[in-house]
Structure 1
């Protein structure tokens, strides 16, 4: 029934303007705004919907992963743009990258507190 449907993902934020600045300005994504909601244009052509929710509670899991070919370069660039990486245990290096026990990954949050990651592709 849904095999040919172009499904898309979405998540909530508490401040659309702050989200637009972060996703467009800090992360450099193409972002469009319509009807008070955002669409993040990501590779592959399927947009991600970002919608307002005044009493938003951030998810406690990663909602969006960004595969990158060079995680160290990506982490340094994001840090230079003001992104602070999360540290959940003692396996993070000085850049915030987790090494060992899986792919290289580093987590950070958007202005609404949603968890995102960069992951070595």
Structure 2
């Protein structure tokens, strides 16, 4: 039996405020968020797996997308995020030309996508599946 396996591998990222992250991921986004014995968050994914979220005093937000949410209807998903208080236009049109809600249309070059940030400044996205 191999000592190294990927069987129980998981991803993780840092935040600067674990309580704000728990509220955002659990209440704002509606994910299943559990707190482990060490105070870390465990984001449980619907089809299995999890993501570790941990507080880091010198946290620096990820400048890349750390978590993608495929959706059937990006317009409805963005409207719902905005209604929940999430800002979905985080890039200028010079960086990524988008509509007034921040949706970048793939127009055959890729999926329609909109980015947003968690309270720690990490970048997340919804994209048309």
Bin for the TM-score computed over the shorter chain = over 0.9
Cα distance in 2 for partners of 1:38, 1:4 equals 21
What is the match of residue 102 of structure 2?
96
Calculate the TM-score normalised by the size of structure 2: 0.88
SS in 1 for 2:78: helix
What is the match of residue 46 of structure 1?
49
SS in 2 for 1:64: strand
1:25-104 to 2 correspondences below 5 Å: 25-34=27-36, 35-85=38-88, 86-89=90-93, 91-100=97-106, 101-104=109-112
SS in 1 for 2:22: helix
Q: How many residues align?
A: 121
Structure 1 residue ranges without an equivalent (≥5): none
Displacement of 1:4: 5.3
Structure 2 residue ranges without an equivalent (≥5): none
Displacement of 1:3: 5.5
Structure with the greater alpha carbon radius of gyration: 2
What is the match of residue 18 of structure 2?
16
Cα distance in 2 for partners of 1:20, 1:115 equals 16
Query: What stretches of structure 1 move > 2 A for 4+ residues in a row?
Result: 1-4, 87-90
What is the match of residue 113 of structure 1?
121
Calculate the TM-score normalised by the size of structure 1: 0.93
Displacement of 1:102: 1.3
SS in 2 for 1:23: helix
Q: CA RMSD in A?
A: 1.4
SS in 2 for 1:56: coil
